[in-house]
Structure 1
Amino acid sequence: MLEVMTWLESSALAGFLRGLGIWTYGLLNLAHIIGISSLFGAVLLLDLKLLGLWRSIPAVSLIRPTVPLAAFGFVLAAISGIMMLSFNTTEYHGNPFLYIKLPVIVLGLLNVAIIQRLAAWRRAAAGLRSEPGDQRILASFGSLSLLTWLTVISCGRMIGYW
């Protein structure tokens, strides 16, 4: 892992970003916070719906706006996060929160990939009538999603305090 960290810190991207000036890191941090907020705000609404809240609102009514917002937030957070990390990557070598955060992000993305392939999700996203067991399946994936993204956010926050 140290080799990858050293490579990122000495990359042309890192050099370019460091050369942009004093405000670069702060602006990247702001972009990261906006990305995380967009991602988690959308995920929170959708996952609470999957857990059974707002039964009078069709799932499709929340899926349509939240999925693209979550995707936008993830992309913005990932790009800005990599850029911020490139400034001083090797300082994070051995930081347990970074080593927890990265695989949990992968778990969160796997959760998204799997749920979107489930018949229960496709029915909900199309506004079709659910079948027996759909609520339990969707609630399980919603619970995992909330746990995953809360872990990512918590670890991200703790990285700076290690």
Structure 2
Amino acid sequence: MESALTAAASWLDFIGVGPWSRGSTLVYPVANTLHLLGLVMLVGGIGIVDLRIMGLWRALPAAEISRALTPVAIGGLVLMIASGSILFAADGAALARSAVFGRKLIIVTAALANAAAFRLIWGAHMTRWPGTAPGAARAMAAASLLLWLAAGASGRWIAYS
């Protein structure tokens, strides 16, 4: 994975994103703020859906909560990818060698795979859940919440590694 990240860092430097993100007093802090906003949107949106599927707020239809908040979470993810690319470009060579950054990417990949699997397996069935989701759906929701929180925590730990 390190060689792929090193190649990505070199490419971002070549197209000018790296020098732009390092050379401005505003780009990095704005990208960092947007990355945090994306995390809040992602975990706030999908976290509420996950908590509902896990059993909270049983009187509220899970499918309706998901329909309302999943687009917020997806918007947050898109914002995080865009801003994260700028943050990565600022110090890509060092991040490519960071074990914490590597773990963060693995956690994000696992969270995305869990989300895709959940949609594939349970997405069409959510409207039929009375108050309680099946145990496997609850387990996937708990995994989702833990994985996204771990991804956010890993992002913070990068600064201390």
Alpha-carbon displacement from aligned partner over 1:60-111 (angstroms, at most 9, x marks no partner): 2211111100000001011101111101111224322101000111111111
Q: Which residue of 1 aligns with 2:21?
A: 17
Q: 1:104, 1:146 → 2: CA distance?
A: 12
Runs of 4+ deviating beyond 6 Å = none
Deviation, structure 1 residue 134: 4.7
Unmatched runs of 5 consecutive residues or more in structure 1: none
SS in 1 for 2:42: helix
Map of 1:7-156 to 2, 5 A cutoff? 7-8=10-11, 10-12=13-15, 13-19=17-23, 21-118=24-121, 120-124=122-126, 127=127, 129-130=128-129, 134-156=133-155
SS in 2 for 1:56: coil
Q: 2:64, 2:9 → 1: CA distance?
A: 45
TM-score (norm: length of structure 1): 0.87
Deviation, structure 1 residue 130: 2.9
Pair 1:160 & 2:120 matched: no
Alpha-carbon displacement from aligned partner over 1:9-66 (angstroms, at most 9, x marks no partner): 52322234345x2111111111101101100101210110110111100112211111
Unmatched runs of 5 consecutive residues or more in structure 2: none
